Amino acid sequence: MLQAGLLQTVPLFGAVVLVGPGNGLTMPACNAGVISVRPRLAGSASGMSGALTVAGGAVPSSIASTLVTEANAAPALLGMMLACSFVGLLATFSVIRVNRREATARQATP
Reported as a single tens digit per residue, the pLDDT across 61-95 is 999 999 888 888 888 888 898 999 999 999 999 98
Percent of the chain with pLDDT over 90: 36
CB-based burial label for 91 (10 Å; 0-12, 13-18, 19+): exposed
Q: Which residue has the higher pLDDT, 36 or 8?
A: 36
Residues 35, 41: Cα–Cα separation, whole Å: 7
pLDDT band of residue 1 (cuts 50, 70, 90) is very low
Segment 24-37 shows an average pLDDT of 89
Alpha helices in 1-110, H assignment, sequence order: 6-17, 19-36, 42-67, 73-108
